A and B are shown apart, each in its own frame.
Chain A
Amino acid sequence: MKIFKIIALVALVVFVGIQFIPTTLNQSDIVYETDFMIVNNVSETIQSKFKISCYDCHSNNTAYPWYHKIQPIAWFMGRHIEDGKAELNFNEWGNYSDRRKKSKIKSIISQIKDGKMPLSSYTLIHGRAKLSESDEELIIKWIDDLKIVYKR
């Protein structure tokens, strides 16, 4: 019995301890000239779908939920955002080469089609971010047309 008490105590101390480790937030209020929405002159409807479903992890500004301050949740989220931005950062779109833009468009389409994005672990909590079938169709059709712009 005593051993459980000790383990619980250790766990508690560690849990409290890790709360003090500082984390950097992915937040920015800059309007990027190179942003996907500005570069491509995107309509309001499509814009809001991208912003709600993609921008939390694929831009320099995350709308954090209240529990983001709790460790180890903050680490978990930080990792996801870091990976997401390395893969695709919509704020940086204008800086990508046309070759990269085309390959990104292709990947966006296939990820949405396969239901891999937005991540199910993300939509589980952010119900609003989930793309309905008609949303998916709308986005894919729209972004497919965009491909023609980036002829290479």
Chain B
Amino acid sequence: MKHSTVITGVLAIAFIALTVTSCNGNKKADNNDDRHHSEVKSDDHSNMNHDNSDGHHDKYTHKGERAIDINAQKNVTTSPIIDAYIQIKNGLVATDEAATAKGGTVLLTAFSKFDMTTLKDDTHKEYMEIYESAKEQAEHIVKSAIDHQREHFETLSTDINDLITLLGTEKTLYQDFCPMANNNKGAYWLSEVEAIKNPYFGSKMMKCGSIKRQIN
């Protein structure tokens, strides 16, 4: 009698364990599916964008630095995105990994709330490209260590710059440049304050950089 209880017990545990693992398996398959869908979707976009050859942005200077034109258009809809970007920037200035990561989350939310239905044709295509890239950078900023956050911030700065070029802003911003960032290749960033506070080095080289342009 006792023997059979033990066997039944073992079988029951094994059954439960199996059920649990196979449930996980299913869930994973579902996730795969979701991701697949979104991948297909984004592929569509990039396909679409691909036809859109470089037209007007050919902003390479002789050293490979990117000079960025700024649209003077006053646009309030981009403000939440810019605010989130500034939050990331300030996290990096303070060399605060957690605050930077939080800024990344805020940026993802801001992008998801952005109403792009008003954007037409080429503007929409370009917005989608910028969004796709900025989203990817933000996702990495959320989950990475500070040095890696800084690398993605450099690309993100280009994206946000281009977004402002494309759509405009009502904010007063300063476009700063530090020649030592990005392995001495130099990198831009945007700041809401006039004083130079370097997000690429933080306290190590807080004052490195200069204002290249003022927006609004």
Contacts and interface: CB of A to CB of B under 8 A. Distances in A.
B129 interface: yes
Given A82-B35, A92-B43, A97-B49, A10 B17 contact: yes
Contacts of A103: 133, 136-137, 155
Contacts of A92: 43
Contacts of A148: 64
A94 B46 CA distance: 9
B104 to A, nearest CB: 15
B89 to A, nearest CB: 18
Q: In the complex, which range does the number of interface residues on chain B fall in?
A: 35 or more
A137 B200 CA distance: 25
A14 B32 contact: no
B54 interface: yes
B10 A100 contact: no
B129 A13 contact: no
A21 B10 contact: no
A6 B10 CA distance: 7
A95 B50 contact: yes
A110 B17 CA distance: 42
A103 B47 CA distance: 17
Contact of A6 (B6, B25, B64, B133): B6
B14 A10 contact: yes
B157 to A, nearest CB: 12
Interface in A87-113: 92, 94-100, 103, 106-107, 110
Contacts of B59: 152
B65 interface: no
A95 B10 contact: no
Interface in A1-26: 2, 6, 9-10, 13-14, 17-18, 21, 24
A107 B22 CA distance: 36
A3 to B, nearest CB: 10
Interface in B30-66: 32, 35, 39, 43, 46-47, 49-50, 54, 57-60, 64
Interface string A35-78: 00000000000000000000000000000000000000001000
A100 B68 CA distance: 18
Contacts of B14: 10, 13-14, 17
A146 interface: no
Given A18-B18, A21-B21, A95-B43, A9 B10 contact: yes
8 shortest interchain CB distances as A-B pairs: A13-B14, A97-B129, A17-B18, A14-B17, A97-B49, A103-B155, A99-B133, A95-B46
12 contacts: A10-B13, A10-B17, A13-B18, A17-B17, A21-B21, A24-B32, A92-B43, A95-B47, A97-B46, A98-B54, A99-B159, A110-B151
